[in-house]
């Protein structure tokens, strides 16, 4: 195996200062060293670089995509484990807080901010960084993903946890709406509290009866019920456009970056 | 003035191979050499890099912004005049075509694709690259912008012109909806035809009576009238979220990148 100087430098960096390349102090699986084609934008979709692919995903131009293009696995891995994903999360949180602090709340217990859970509040990055998942470049495995969720070890997305704390201080009531199954309530609550989400108005999980509905339909219905119960949805934040589109989306929506998978 | 090696290299590149750094063969004003802080992500919004700021703008997380942060002028300039803007436009056009070619059109003359004009179909980049505009980092000047429009010299955005031609071949009817004033119809038609947009079903400009309405309200109303006239809006493409949000937005929307200005 021959390596170019840049590859060697990257490898040395990855070995010697791993925490600077990892997420929230979580070590990615050592069996999955990042590939050296990463960041160079190799092409699978003709004429579309990985950087442009990611922007197209983030702006909802590319929809219903199945897998991260295999040529972009390394790029997405570097993005997610490097500084830029964190910075982009920080910017989303900054924009949200900048908006939130300008609002005059009624403080009647009905001023609501909605957060999605998976890859918005809690990070599944340790799972997706595993070689069997390859940052979304390998087919989604429902069984291993559920096993990962049942471990209750997902770290917080730091920028969102920080925003959550700030919103509580401003007087918002927090509602979490997640596509996770109701059967995972115990471990979800455990995991959320463990990493710092210690209080909420509601934590809504998907009922078995709704397992056939899309996230957009399910979340729209839950938001409708919140509004019918008198809650005012002032902010709504998620990593999927299906968290933010549909009906009763709230006064402002905020997209958290996620180039690893698509949920309709 | 001292320069670092990278600055020198950039300067030499800018002097010796200017067309590779310019847009659609248009030379940016020579009085406005790109600043060397560009791309390094200097900060004005605390903790938000220029790259993250741009993503937040493109995902509509940051709204109603007035100017490009002055610390991001160079970054935005490099983005717009370099390869990445073109690549991102190509990706948006690719996603749109990938969707469009999968549709079965009725071909009754009612299958419509909507394009915005300014910085979607026609590029105002030669204007924005001028030192008095600084890629959107200086205050918008209605007078000089109108003068620029009246020159009729805006080049096409290459990726969008290409998409336009492909959509025509697929059998779409094209409708342009622009915030330009009706009083600019003659020069707009001249400019559009000159760069290759040779046919359309409708080219809708803003009436004086509507000058007080926002783009989102005005464009929603125009799209409503199209649908009431029996047109099916299958695709809708613009560089502003106000082109793509509101009502009657169409079956699919596509966001063309634009980090230079915001239109509500």
Q: What is the full DSSP assignment across B34-83?
A: PPTTTTS---SSTT--HHHHHHHHHTTSS-S--S--GGGHHHHHHHHHSH
Task: Looking at the complex, report in whole angstroms how far the Cα of residue A52 sits from the nearest Cα belonging to chain B.
Answer: 5
pLDDT tens digit sequence for A166-177: 999 999 999 999
Question: How far apart (Å, rounded) are the C-alpha atoms in residues A180 and B100?
Answer: 33
Residues B96-107 have a mean pLDDT of 97
Across the interface, of B48, B88, B94, the residue whose CB is closest to A91 is B48
Give the phi and the psi of residue B178 in degrees, each rounded to 5: -125, 150
The partner residue sitting opposite B91, judged by closest CB among A55, A90, A253, is A55
Q: How confident is the model at residue B39 (pLDDT cuts 50, 70, 90)?
A: very low
DSSP string, chain A: ----HHHHHHHHHHHH-GGGGSBTTBPPPTT-PPPTTTTS---SSTT--HHHHHHHHHTTSS-S--S--GGGHHHHHHHHHSHHHHHHHHHHHHHHHHHHTTS----SS-EEEEE-SBTTTB--HHHHTSTTTGGGTS---HHHHHHHHHHT-PPB-HHHHHHHHHHHHHTPEEEEEEEEEGGGHHHHHHHHHHHT----SEEEEE-GGGTTS-HHHHHHHHHHHHHHTT-EEEEEEESSHHHHSSSS--S-EEEPP--S----
Which residues of chain B have a CB within 8 Å of the CB of A49? Answer: 87, 91
Best CA proximity match to B132, nearest among B122, B141, B143? B141
Q: Rounded to 5 degrees, what angle do the CA atoms A140, A179, A128 make? A: 35
Residue B4 has pLDDT above 60, yes or no: no
Across chain A, what does the average pLDDT equal?
Answer: 87
Residues of A in contact with B55 (CB under 8 A): 55, 58, 88, 91, 257
CB B52 within 8 A of CB A91: yes
Residue with tokens 């600055």: B7
Q: Quick check: A90 and B48 CB within 8 A? A: yes
Which among B237, B242, B221, B243 has a CA at the least distance from the CA of B112?
A: B237
pLDDT of B141 strictly over 80: yes
Helix (H) or strand (E) holding B92: helix B83-100
Other C-beta atoms within 10 Å of B197: how many? 23
The shortest CB-CB distance from B254 to any of A61, A84, A88 is to: A61
Q: Over 60: is that where the pLDDT of B2 sits?
A: no
| The two three-digit tokens of residue B216, written as one number | 């989102």
Task: Indicate yes or no: CB of B47 within 8 angstroms of CB of A90.
Answer: yes
How close, in Å, is residue A96 to chain B by CA atoms?
7
Which ipTM value was assigned to this complex? 0.84
Residue B263 per-residue DSSP state: -
Residues on B contacting A at a C-beta cutoff of 8 Å: 45-49, 51-53, 55-56, 58-63, 84, 87-88, 90-92, 94-96, 252-255, 257
Distance (Å, whole) CA B224 – CA B54: 31
Domain locations along chain A: 23-255
Q: What secondary structure letter does DSSP report for B156?
A: B
Question: B33-255 architecture in CATH?
Answer: 3-Layer(aba) Sandwich (3.40)
Q: Six-digit token pair at B29?
A: 């004003």
CATH topology of domain A23-255: Rossmann fold (3.40.50)
Distance from CA of B58 to the nearest CA of A (A): 6
User: A63-111: per-residue pLDDT in tens?
Assistant: 999 999 999 999 999 999 999 999 999 999 999 999 999 999 999 999 9
pLDDT at A41 over 90: no
Instruction: Provide the token pair at B232.
Output: 């099916």
What mean pLDDT comes out for the span A216-233?
Answer: 98
CB A184 within 8 A of CB A211: no
Residue A30 pLDDT: 33
- Choice between B47 and A129, residue whose per-residue pLDDT is larger: A129
Residues whose CB falls within 8 Å of the CB of residue A255, separated by 6 or more in sequence, listed in order: A58, A92, A238, A239, A241, A244, B59, B60, B61
- Among chain A residues, CA nearest to B49: A87
Contact B55 A257 (CB under 8 A): yes
pLDDT category at B44 given cuts 50, 70, 90 is low
The yes-or-no verdict on residue B37 having pLDDT over 90 is: no
What tens digit of pLDDT does each residue of A132-163 get? 999 999 999 999 999 999 999 999 999 999 99
């Amino acid at each position: 195996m021959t390596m170019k100087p840049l590859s060697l430098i990257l490898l040395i960096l990855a070995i010697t200062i791993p925490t600077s390349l990892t997420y929230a102090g979580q070590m990615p699986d050592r069996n999955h060293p990042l590939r050296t084609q990463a960041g160079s934008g190799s092409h699978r979709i003709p004429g579309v670089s990985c950087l442009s692919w990611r922007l197209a995903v983030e702006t909802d131009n590319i929809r219903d995509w199945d897998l991260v293009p295999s040529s972009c696995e390394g790029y997405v891995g570097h993005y997610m484990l490097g500084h830029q994903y964190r910075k982009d999360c920080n910017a989303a949180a900054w924009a949200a807080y900048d908006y939130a602090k300008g609002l005059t709340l009624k403080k009647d217990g009905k001023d609501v901010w909605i957060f999605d859970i998976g890859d918005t509040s809690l990070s599944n990055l340790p799972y997706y960084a595993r070689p069997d998942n390859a940052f979304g470049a390998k087919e989604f495995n429902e069984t291993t993903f559920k096993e990962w969720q049942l471990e209750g070890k997902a770290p917080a997305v730091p920028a969102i946890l920080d925003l959550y704390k700030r919103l509580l201080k401003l007087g918002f009531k927090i509602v979490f709406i997640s596509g996770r199954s109701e059967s995972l309530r115990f471990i979800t609550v455990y995991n959320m509290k463990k990493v710092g989400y210690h209080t909420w108005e509601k934590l809504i999980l998907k009922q078995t009866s709704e397992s056939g509905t899309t996230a957009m339909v399910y979340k729209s219905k839950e938001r409708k019920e919140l509004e019918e119960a008198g809650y005012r949805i002032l902010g709504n934040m998620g990593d999927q456009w299906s968290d933010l589109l549909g009906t009763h989306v709230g006064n402002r929506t905020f997209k958290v970056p996620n180039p690893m998978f698509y949920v309709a």
